Amino acid sequence: MSVLISNDAELPTLIEEDEVRAIAAHVLASEGVAREVEISLSYVDEDEMHELNREWRGIDRTTDVLSFECDSAFDEDIPVDEIVELGDVILAPEVIARQAPGFGNSAADECRLMLVHGLLHLLGYDHIEDDEAEVMEAREDALLRELAVMRGEDPSRIEVGPITNHAHD
């Protein structure tokens, strides 16, 4: 697994690069990804995230995370010796840090959630419909609790929050 991290604006990343890579490795392994994949992770400022959200989703406001899936890690038509370009996760640390207290999270915990959320999107999860949102939220919850244990923290303090569907965006 390769995670290409970009932070051209030199923004505070909220979690260290080693943890980003550990989170990605854990999510991929937990979801049964056995082949070599490449993920791009970019940190962008609030203005750039607003523009990306407007351009790609038609929503004229900022957001915390965007994901752009490329190839599926489970696509049997991609030769096994070829690296799968899983896609791009884009995080807006300013937005994440600002919203974290409203969800009862630290900025780092909220960033972990947004990273897991973005990675699950690259693996085909979605939350447009309520039933999809419930499945995705349950996976986020389970993965974040596992990651808390790996960090030596109490997994019972993990809070994912309400269903994250986009029906009303």
CATH of the domain at 127: 3.40.390.30
Answer for the pair 134, 140: CB distance below 8 angstroms, yes or no: no
144 to each of 39, 159, 160, how far by Cα in Å?
Answer: 19, 9, 8
pLDDT tier, 168 (very low <50, low <70, confident <90, very high otherwise): very low
Cα(38)–Cα(24) distance, rounded to whole angstroms?
A: 10
168 is in an annotated binding site: no
Structure tokens at 16: 């260290």
The predicted-structure confidence for 1-57, as pLDDT tens digits, reads as follows: 999 999 999 999 999 999 999 999 999 999 999 999 999 999 999 999 999 999 999
Residue 127 in marked binding region: yes
**What residue numbers bound the domain in which 12 lies?**
2-154
Sheet holding 65-69, edge to edge: 2-6, 37-43, 84-91, 65-69
Per the domain annotation, does 26 fall within a domain?
yes
Average pLDDT of the residues in 110-126: 96
Quote the number of domains for the chain.
Answer: 1
pTM: 0.94
Residue 23 lies inside a defined structural domain of this protein: yes
Instruction: Tell me if 117 is assigned to a ligand binding site.
Output: yes
In a domain, 83, yes or no: yes
The answer to whether residue 168 is domain-embedded is no
Task: Point out which residues pair with 65 in neighbouring strands.
Answer: 91
